[in-house]
Chains A and B, each alone.
Chain A
Amino acid sequence: NAGVTQTPKFQVLKTGQSMTLQCAQDMNHEYMSWYRQDPGMGLRLIHYSVGAGITDQGEVPNGYNVSRSTTEDFPLRLLSAAPSQTSVYFCASTQDSGGQFFGPGTRLTVL
Protein backbone atom coordinates (compact mmCIF):
# COMPACT_ATOMS: atom_id res chain seq x y z
CA ASN A 1 0.00 0.00 0.00
CA ALA A 2 1.26 3.46 -0.85
CA GLY A 3 -1.04 5.04 1.76
CA VAL A 4 -1.77 8.68 0.98
CA THR A 5 0.13 10.31 -1.87
CA GLN A 6 0.24 14.00 -2.75
CA THR A 7 1.61 15.85 -5.73
CA PRO A 8 3.40 18.13 -6.23
CA LYS A 9 5.72 18.36 -3.22
CA PHE A 10 6.62 21.97 -3.94
CA GLN A 11 4.92 24.66 -6.01
CA VAL A 12 5.46 28.35 -6.62
CA LEU A 13 2.59 30.36 -8.10
CA LYS A 14 2.02 33.96 -9.02
CA THR A 15 -0.96 35.82 -7.63
CA GLY A 16 -4.06 35.04 -9.66
CA GLN A 17 -2.87 31.73 -11.06
CA SER A 18 -4.88 28.58 -10.52
CA MET A 19 -3.71 25.07 -9.79
CA THR A 20 -4.81 21.68 -8.49
CA LEU A 21 -3.18 19.80 -5.66
CA GLN A 22 -3.57 16.08 -6.16
CA CYS A 23 -4.31 13.56 -3.42
CA ALA A 24 -4.87 9.83 -3.69
CA GLN A 25 -5.27 6.97 -1.22
CA ASP A 26 -5.32 3.23 -1.72
CA MET A 27 -6.84 2.17 1.60
CA ASN A 28 -10.49 2.37 0.47
CA HIS A 29 -11.31 4.96 3.14
CA GLU A 30 -14.52 6.89 2.70
CA TYR A 31 -13.49 9.95 4.69
CA MET A 32 -10.83 12.30 3.32
CA SER A 33 -9.76 15.80 4.31
CA TRP A 34 -7.61 18.72 3.27
CA TYR A 35 -5.77 20.83 5.85
CA ARG A 36 -3.44 23.76 5.72
CA GLN A 37 -0.66 24.17 8.25
CA ASP A 38 0.64 27.60 9.16
CA PRO A 39 3.18 28.52 11.85
CA GLY A 40 1.59 28.86 15.29
CA MET A 41 -1.86 27.86 14.03
CA GLY A 42 -1.68 24.11 13.85
CA LEU A 43 -3.83 22.39 11.26
CA ARG A 44 -6.94 24.01 9.88
CA LEU A 45 -9.54 22.04 7.96
CA ILE A 46 -10.28 23.36 4.47
CA HIS A 47 -12.71 20.80 3.01
CA TYR A 48 -13.62 17.23 3.68
CA SER A 49 -15.50 14.38 2.01
CA VAL A 50 -17.43 11.51 3.55
CA GLY A 51 -17.54 9.53 0.30
CA ALA A 52 -17.57 9.77 -3.47
CA GLY A 53 -19.81 12.60 -4.62
CA ILE A 54 -20.09 14.17 -1.15
CA THR A 55 -18.01 17.11 0.03
CA ASP A 56 -18.41 19.79 2.66
CA GLN A 57 -16.63 22.87 3.93
CA GLY A 58 -14.32 22.97 6.88
CA GLU A 59 -13.01 25.89 8.89
CA VAL A 60 -11.24 27.81 6.09
CA PRO A 61 -12.84 26.95 2.71
CA ASN A 62 -12.69 30.33 0.95
CA GLY A 63 -10.59 30.31 -2.21
CA TYR A 64 -10.59 26.52 -2.51
CA ASN A 65 -12.75 23.98 -4.32
CA VAL A 66 -12.85 20.21 -4.04
CA SER A 67 -14.53 17.32 -5.77
CA ARG A 68 -14.69 13.58 -5.07
CA SER A 69 -15.52 11.58 -8.16
CA THR A 70 -13.91 8.38 -6.86
CA THR A 71 -13.12 6.93 -3.44
CA GLU A 72 -9.40 7.12 -4.19
CA ASP A 73 -8.95 10.73 -5.34
CA PHE A 74 -9.64 14.04 -3.63
CA PRO A 75 -8.09 16.98 -5.50
CA LEU A 76 -7.95 20.51 -4.06
CA ARG A 77 -8.25 23.44 -6.48
CA LEU A 78 -6.99 26.93 -5.89
CA LEU A 79 -9.13 29.15 -8.08
CA SER A 80 -7.09 32.38 -8.03
CA ALA A 81 -4.04 32.10 -5.82
CA ALA A 82 -3.33 34.80 -3.23
CA PRO A 83 -0.25 35.32 -1.02
CA SER A 84 -2.42 34.42 2.01
CA GLN A 85 -2.62 30.90 0.59
CA THR A 86 1.11 30.37 1.04
CA SER A 87 1.16 27.36 3.34
CA VAL A 88 1.82 23.66 3.64
CA TYR A 89 -1.15 21.58 2.53
CA PHE A 90 -1.87 18.11 3.85
CA CYS A 91 -4.33 15.57 2.58
CA ALA A 92 -5.57 12.94 5.02
CA SER A 93 -7.58 9.75 4.83
CA THR A 94 -9.47 8.39 7.83
CA GLN A 95 -10.23 4.89 9.00
CA ASP A 96 -13.82 4.29 10.04
CA SER A 97 -12.85 3.60 13.63
CA GLY A 98 -9.32 4.89 13.85
CA GLY A 99 -7.02 7.76 13.18
CA GLN A 100 -6.06 9.73 10.13
CA PHE A 101 -3.31 8.90 7.68
CA PHE A 102 -1.55 11.93 6.25
CA GLY A 103 0.20 12.52 2.98
CA PRO A 104 3.71 14.05 2.88
CA GLY A 105 2.39 17.54 2.16
CA THR A 106 2.64 20.17 -0.57
CA ARG A 107 4.60 23.34 0.16
CA LEU A 108 2.95 26.17 -1.76
CA THR A 109 4.36 29.66 -2.16
CA VAL A 110 2.27 32.38 -3.79
CA LEU A 111 4.21 35.43 -4.91
Chain B
Amino acid sequence: GNSVTQMEGPVTLSEEAFLTINCTYTATGYPSLFWYVQYPGEGLQLLLKATKADDKGSNKGFEATYRKETTSFHLEKGSVQVSDSAVYFCALRHPNTGNQFYFGTGTSLTVIP
Protein backbone atom coordinates (compact mmCIF):
# COMPACT_ATOMS: atom_id res chain seq x y z
CA GLY B 1 0.00 0.00 0.00
CA ASN B 2 0.86 3.67 0.01
CA SER B 3 2.84 5.10 2.90
CA VAL B 4 5.22 7.89 3.87
CA THR B 5 8.14 7.67 6.28
CA GLN B 6 9.88 10.77 7.55
CA MET B 7 12.73 11.28 9.93
CA GLU B 8 12.00 11.31 13.62
CA GLY B 9 12.25 14.54 15.48
CA PRO B 10 12.55 16.75 17.21
CA VAL B 11 15.18 18.68 15.30
CA THR B 12 16.86 21.68 16.92
CA LEU B 13 19.03 24.01 14.86
CA SER B 14 20.68 27.35 15.33
CA GLU B 15 19.56 30.25 13.18
CA GLU B 16 21.16 30.26 9.71
CA ALA B 17 21.95 26.54 9.85
CA PHE B 18 21.22 24.20 6.95
CA LEU B 19 18.09 22.07 7.26
CA THR B 20 17.34 18.65 5.84
CA ILE B 21 14.27 16.63 6.77
CA ASN B 22 14.23 13.22 5.13
CA CYS B 23 11.11 11.74 3.57
CA THR B 24 10.74 8.47 1.69
CA TYR B 25 7.59 6.96 0.28
CA THR B 26 6.11 3.66 -0.81
CA ALA B 27 3.66 3.71 -3.69
CA THR B 28 3.12 2.18 -7.08
CA GLY B 29 3.23 4.32 -10.15
CA TYR B 30 3.57 8.07 -9.92
CA PRO B 31 2.06 9.76 -6.88
CA SER B 32 2.21 13.50 -6.25
CA LEU B 33 4.34 14.53 -3.28
CA PHE B 34 3.84 17.37 -0.82
CA TRP B 35 5.34 19.09 2.17
CA TYR B 36 3.02 20.72 4.67
CA VAL B 37 3.90 22.97 7.62
CA GLN B 38 1.95 23.32 10.84
CA TYR B 39 2.56 26.26 13.17
CA PRO B 40 1.49 25.94 16.81
CA GLY B 41 -2.27 25.96 17.26
CA GLU B 42 -2.97 26.07 13.53
CA GLY B 43 -3.98 23.74 10.73
CA LEU B 44 -1.60 22.41 8.10
CA GLN B 45 -0.53 24.70 5.27
CA LEU B 46 0.79 23.54 1.92
CA LEU B 47 4.48 24.44 1.69
CA LEU B 48 5.45 22.94 -1.66
CA LYS B 49 4.63 20.12 -4.03
CA ALA B 50 5.95 18.09 -6.96
CA THR B 51 3.81 16.07 -9.31
CA LYS B 52 6.32 14.06 -11.35
CA ALA B 53 9.79 12.60 -11.16
CA ASP B 54 12.69 15.10 -11.06
CA ASP B 55 10.32 18.01 -10.36
CA LYS B 56 11.58 20.43 -7.74
CA GLY B 57 9.06 22.15 -5.52
CA SER B 58 10.12 25.37 -3.83
CA ASN B 59 8.60 28.02 -1.59
CA LYS B 60 9.86 30.49 1.05
CA GLY B 61 13.44 29.23 0.64
CA PHE B 62 12.46 25.57 1.10
CA GLU B 63 13.09 23.05 -1.66
CA ALA B 64 12.39 19.38 -2.29
CA THR B 65 13.12 17.24 -5.35
CA TYR B 66 10.99 14.26 -6.38
CA ARG B 67 13.46 11.37 -6.73
CA LYS B 68 11.77 8.30 -8.19
CA GLU B 69 14.94 6.20 -8.15
CA THR B 70 15.30 6.57 -4.37
CA THR B 71 11.55 7.13 -3.67
CA SER B 72 12.47 10.24 -1.71
CA PHE B 73 11.32 13.85 -1.31
CA HIS B 74 13.69 15.40 1.20
CA LEU B 75 12.99 18.92 2.43
CA GLU B 76 15.92 21.38 2.50
CA LYS B 77 16.54 24.98 3.40
CA GLY B 78 19.88 26.70 3.23
CA SER B 79 19.49 29.07 6.17
CA VAL B 80 16.72 28.58 8.70
CA GLN B 81 15.13 31.34 10.75
CA VAL B 82 13.43 31.32 14.13
CA SER B 83 10.12 31.81 12.31
CA ASP B 84 10.61 28.41 10.60
CA SER B 85 9.99 26.63 13.91
CA ALA B 86 7.02 24.37 13.22
CA VAL B 87 6.07 20.77 12.50
CA TYR B 88 6.67 19.59 8.94
CA PHE B 89 4.68 16.81 7.29
CA CYS B 90 5.55 14.92 4.14
CA ALA B 91 2.58 13.52 2.20
CA LEU B 92 1.67 11.73 -0.98
CA ARG B 93 -1.46 11.71 -3.08
CA HIS B 94 -2.23 8.84 -5.39
CA PRO B 95 -4.97 8.99 -8.00
CA ASN B 96 -5.41 5.21 -7.89
CA THR B 97 -6.69 5.49 -4.32
CA GLY B 98 -9.36 8.13 -4.84
CA ASN B 99 -6.93 10.99 -4.37
CA GLN B 100 -6.49 10.14 -0.73
CA PHE B 101 -3.54 11.73 1.02
CA TYR B 102 -1.08 9.70 3.08
CA PHE B 103 0.87 11.65 5.68
CA GLY B 104 4.07 11.00 7.53
CA THR B 105 4.08 11.39 11.31
CA GLY B 106 5.60 14.86 11.21
CA THR B 107 8.98 16.30 12.20
CA SER B 108 9.16 19.04 14.79
CA LEU B 109 11.73 21.76 14.07
CA THR B 110 12.90 24.31 16.61
CA VAL B 111 15.26 27.07 15.52
CA ILE B 112 17.11 28.89 18.28
CA PRO B 113 18.61 32.37 17.92
Contacts and interface: CB of A to CB of B under 8 A. Distances in A.
Given A102-B45, A104-B42, A40 B101 contact: no
A69 B36 CA distance: 29
Contacts of B93: 99
A45 B103 CA distance: 9
Main secondary structure of the interface of B (DSSP, over half): strand
B16 to A, nearest CB: 29
A105 B49 contact: no
A100 B101 contact: yes
B100 interface: yes
Contacts of B46: 98-101
A84 B49 CA distance: 33
A108 to B, nearest CB: 15
A42 interface: yes
B105 A99 contact: no
B43 A98 contact: no
A103 B38 CA distance: 12
B44 A56 contact: no
Contacts of B34: 99
* Category for how many chain B residues contact A: 10 to 19
Interface in A87-108: 90, 92, 94, 97-105
Interface string B15-44: 000000000000000000010100000111
Interface of A: 4, 31, 33, 40-43, 45, 48, 50, 56, 58, 90, 92, 94, 97-105
13 contacts: A31-B99, A33-B101, A42-B89, A42-B103, A42-B104, A50-B99, A92-B44, A92-B101, A94-B99, A97-B51, A99-B46, A102-B43, A104-B42
Interface of B: 34, 36, 42-46, 49, 51, 89, 93, 98-101, 103-106
